[in-house]
Amino acid sequence: MTFAVLSGFLAAVVVPFLPRFGRYGTGRTVALVPAALTAYFGSYIQPVGAGETFRTSYAWAPALRVEFSLHLDGLGLLFALLVSGIGALVAIYAGGYLSGHRHLGRFYGFLLFFMASMLGVVLADNMLTLFVFWELTSLTSYLLIGFDHEREESRKAAWQALLVTGGGGLALLAGLLMLGEAAGTMELSELASRGGDVRSHALYLPILLLILLGAFTKSAQFPFHFWLPSAMEAPAPVSAYLHSATMVKAGVYLLARLSPAMAGTDAWWYLVTLGGTATMVCGAYLALCGTDLKRILAYSTVSALGVLVMLLGMGSVLAAQAAMVFLLAHALYKGALFMVAGAVDHETGSRDVDRLGGLWRAMPVTAAAAVLAALSMAGIAPFFGFLGKEMLLEASLESGGRWFLLPVVVLAGAVFVAVACMAGFRVFFGSSLPTPKQPHEAPLSLWLGPLLASAVGLALGLFASYAAAWIVSPAATAILGERTGHQPLKLALWHGLTPALALSGGSILLGLLVYANRGRILQMNRRLEVLLRHGPAWWYDLALGGLNRFALAQTRLLQTGYLRHYLLVIFAATVGLSGYVLIGSVELPARLLGPEIRFHEAALAGLLLLAALAAVRSSTRLAAVAALGVVGYGVALVFILYGAPDLAMTQFAIETLTVILLVLVLYRLPRYAVLSSRWVRIRDAAFALVTGATVTALVLAAVHGPAYESVSRYYAERSFAEAHGRNIVNVILVDFRALDTLGEITVLAVAAVGVHALLKLRPKNREDAA
């Protein structure tokens, strides 16, 4: 299983080089990876359906309770099949959609990278493993939305998606860590049985809010929904894969996964159900008002995600089953419709539903795929979408006292019908309209994906009882957790004249009515536009602008460009923070000096003092640098005297390089033009004295503190025994605390890149402008 998840990353590294070997067939070759994964996960349907679960785990940083652990159960399997199955279709599709694109290889690399990350999200058991993969999906989404990076709109959309989902990711990290504390475990598979501890924990509400922030931003829930329609700047395969079928469902997945531990409280019900309902309504309304086919589909995706979240909020057995049926149906038909929209755009040069019509004559196969998918979306029997909608209605009917959900759900269902009419009917039937490009049938690679996806939607509907038993039921069981006694799900296309069936028929009629009156709705919307202008996207821009202005202001305040001001800020912070801790908590030794002072020690101290004074008093930069160099070498000598040869060697090397560095910079500068005023000198002297005193106190506290001896003895004892090294300093650096060193050399690397950018990548015209 580990290899299955990681194989996508390996393939992502190799794939970018594929197009060099041949112009054609890349798509089909790449599709082999997800196709093989689909077959692999398909082999788990039987045992998982029978109630088995699988887990593998690798110790990562056990002391921090971080493990690389994967867990496969019904819920994970449903998602894994979706991710790999639709991944295969999209890979074939992208080969046609982007054929001949000069960065096709890179695109496939990103796509597989995303697929592997998404598999990691849905199969992770340790919450931190999940988080790492979760962030990787945000990152790959950024790369894929901004794939066409020469266009400003796609850069902006990519940036927006990254900021919104990345911001939510930070909240999620905090939430998951707190959840792990509350439950006493970081493993999701163990979390399910600790629901009682979590729900009664004092921090339950903050945990819930933080996790919801992560899930809602990822799954584009109101009021964070605005990034999803903007993300339609991405190429169509990306919209079909990430932004309808898989990634945006990660938030839904998380809520489903955490349901056993966290659901069932009033807070959960109100926050999740109402959040989902608001999203459903908002998305449905905006979908009706669009004219760009991809945007219409994007808003209807937002609406569908709202439905899923709402169902998970309800928390009943029926609602959990309905959520899984609806999720599967939606992924299939919406993925197909997005691919159709891309194919239409590719062949006609337009995506405007008001300017397209009668395309079935030119594109019969694409039209067939679109109609099949649209019928499923509208909820017509015998498609799988019909079952999804009926179960949704039943779950809402069952919710009893919360009656207000039912009319809202029926209305949203009607809007789905109207959107299906636009995507599957309006574009392909009626009179032909002139398009920018003469339409003709899309190539095989462009219609195979959507046709297969919608055909699977039909097949699942026809063989609903199998789908229920093998795929949906195990997934719903994982959501429901310990609650026993629930009925295993039985799906059938016909079970008599139920109220849900009547409502379903009613919503279809209502949908057709809405579709017929679309003109009036658009007119009304134009009048409302003034109100809608100040939506969440407007607030996002405002917040981003504010953040930038704040960053600029604080940079001007703290980073004036003068080294002396930087030093003042750094020293003030150091002295302030460490001094605050030192005062009152540390006892200084009564005697500062040892029993005897040897001559060379005193001489060295004198030399250091003299050099420091010379540095302060000198009137040329070079002399000051040289004097500082003497101070540095003096300190190195101190290290040698007191038995720290490693430090001394490093200090010597650093000191030499620093002098070279400073000389290089200062070489060209003129003599000091203005010497510091008297007041500034007094201020600086006071600062220096206070800083020196603080550092002295710090050193004395470190030497005399009782707590530190055990640490050095610990290292001395274990250095050779466990790490095969006699040089303790080095062993600490490269073995005991190697993780810290890894962080430090990363910082070094970042600093080097920063300096390089400052010196080498300056805009050429800066000098002209200045």
Partner 1 sequence: MTTVILRTAARYLLPLMLLFSVFLVLRGHHEPGGGFVGGLVASSSVILYALASGVRDAAHLLRTDPRMLIGAGLLLALASGLLSFFGGQPFMTGQWVSLVLPGMGEIHVGTPLVFDVGVYLVVLGTVLTIILSLLEQ
Binding site for partner 1 (CB under 8 A): 58-62, 68, 645-646, 649-650, 653-654, 656-657, 660-661, 664-665, 723-727, 729-731, 733-735, 738-739, 741-742, 745-746, 748-749, 751-753, 755-756, 759-760
Minimum CB–partner distance for residue 5 and partner 1 (Å):
14
Minimum CB–partner distance for residue 730 and partner 1 (Å):
4
Minimum CB–partner distance for residue 434 and partner 1 (Å):
53
Minimum CB–partner distance for residue 663 and partner 1 (Å):
10
Q: Are 94 and 111 in contact (CB under 8 A)?
A: yes
Give the tokens for residue 714.
């610990």
Taking the least distance from each CB to partner 1, the nearer of 36 and 729 is 729
Report DSSP state, residue 63. G
Give the tokens for residue 425.
């009917």
Q: Are 207 and 178 in contact (CB under 8 A)?
A: yes
3-state secondary structure at position 357: coil
Minimum CB–partner distance for residue 726 and partner 1 (Å):
4
Minimum CB–partner distance for residue 647 and partner 1 (Å):
9
Taking the least distance from each CB to partner 1, the nearer of 571 and 652 is 652
Q: Are 204 and 211 in contact (CB under 8 A)?
A: no
Taking the least distance from each CB to partner 1, the nearer of 59 and 502 is 59
> Residue 132: enclosing H or E segment and its boundaries?
helix 127-145
Minimum CB–partner distance for residue 559 and partner 1 (Å):
19
Q: What residue has token string 């990681």?
A: 6
Taking the least distance from each CB to partner 1, the nearer of 603 and 653 is 653
Query: What CA dihedral angle connects 193, 274, 544 and 746, to 10 degrees?
Result: 10
Q: What residue has token string 């007119």?
A: 523
Minimum CB–partner distance for residue 660 and partner 1 (Å):
6
3-state secondary structure at position 178: helix
Report DSSP state, residue 229. H
Taking the least distance from each CB to partner 1, the nearer of 267 and 723 is 723
Taking the least distance from each CB to partner 1, the nearer of 686 and 750 is 750
57: left (phi over 0), alpha (psi -120 to 50) or beta: beta
CA-to-CA dists, residue 544 to 164, 364, 531, 549, angstroms? 11, 46, 21, 9
Minimum CB–partner distance for residue 14 and partner 1 (Å):
17
3-state secondary structure at position 695: helix
Minimum CB–partner distance for residue 183 and partner 1 (Å):
22
β-partners of residue 67 are 59
Q: Are 42 and 48 in contact (CB under 8 A)?
A: no
Minimum CB–partner distance for residue 747 and partner 1 (Å):
10
- Neighbouring C-beta atoms of residue 121, cutoff 10 Å: 28
Taking the least distance from each CB to partner 1, the nearer of 587 and 717 is 717
Taking the least distance from each CB to partner 1, the nearer of 67 and 233 is 67
Residue whose C-alpha is closest to residue 371's, from 265, 288, 454: 454
Taking the least distance from each CB to partner 1, the nearer of 373 and 731 is 731
Q: Are 363 and 442 in contact (CB under 8 A)?
A: yes
Taking the least distance from each CB to partner 1, the nearer of 533 and 764 is 764
Minimum CB–partner distance for residue 491 and partner 1 (Å):
43
β-partners of residue 71 are 55
Taking the least distance from each CB to partner 1, the nearer of 82 and 731 is 731
Measure the CA–CA gap between 325 and 345, rounded to whole angstroms: 30
Measure the CA–CA gap between 323 and 334, rounded to whole angstroms: 16
Taking the least distance from each CB to partner 1, the nearer of 46 and 727 is 727
Minimum CB–partner distance for residue 657 and partner 1 (Å):
6
Taking the least distance from each CB to partner 1, the nearer of 602 and 742 is 742
Measure the CA–CA gap between 142 and 295, rounded to whole angstroms: 18
Burial (CB < 10 A; 0-12, 13-18, 19+), residue 353, is: buried
Minimum CB–partner distance for residue 352 and partner 1 (Å):
46
Minimum CB–partner distance for residue 721 and partner 1 (Å):
12
Helices assigned H by DSSP within 248-316: 250-262, 266-268, 274-288, 293-314
Minimum CB–partner distance for residue 319 and partner 1 (Å):
41
Measure the CA–CA gap between 268 and 259, rounded to whole angstroms: 9
Taking the least distance from each CB to partner 1, the nearer of 523 and 727 is 727
CA angle 680, 685, 689 (to 5 degrees): 150
Q: What residue has token string 């890894």?
A: 742
Please count the residues of the chain: 770
Measure the CA–CA gap between 469 and 472, rounded to whole angstroms: 6
CA-to-CA dists, residue 356 to 290, 495, 764, angstroms? 14, 39, 47
Residue whose C-alpha is closest to residue 271's, from 227, 326, 226, 310: 310
Give the tokens for residue 153.
């709109």
Taking the least distance from each CB to partner 1, the nearer of 570 and 748 is 748
Taking the least distance from each CB to partner 1, the nearer of 664 and 673 is 664
Give the tokens for residue 450.
């959507």
Minimum CB–partner distance for residue 727 and partner 1 (Å):
5
Q: Please state the three-class secondary structure of 701-723 as a single string.
A: HHHHCHHHHHHHHHHHHHHHHHH
Q: What residue has token string 């509350």?
A: 182
Minimum CB–partner distance for residue 719 and partner 1 (Å):
10
Taking the least distance from each CB to partner 1, the nearer of 352 and 735 is 735
CA-to-CA dists, residue 277 to 223, 273, 280, 347, 759, angstroms? 12, 6, 5, 37, 53
- Buried/exposed 633-670: b ≥16 CB within 10 Å, e otherwise: bbbbbbbeeeeeeebbeebbeebeeebeebeeeeeeee
Instruction: Supply φ then ψ for residue 449, to 5 degrees.
Output: -60, -60
Taking the least distance from each CB to partner 1, the nearer of 528 and 757 is 757
- Give me the DSSP letters along 327-353: HHHHHHHHHHHHHHHHHHHHHHS--BG
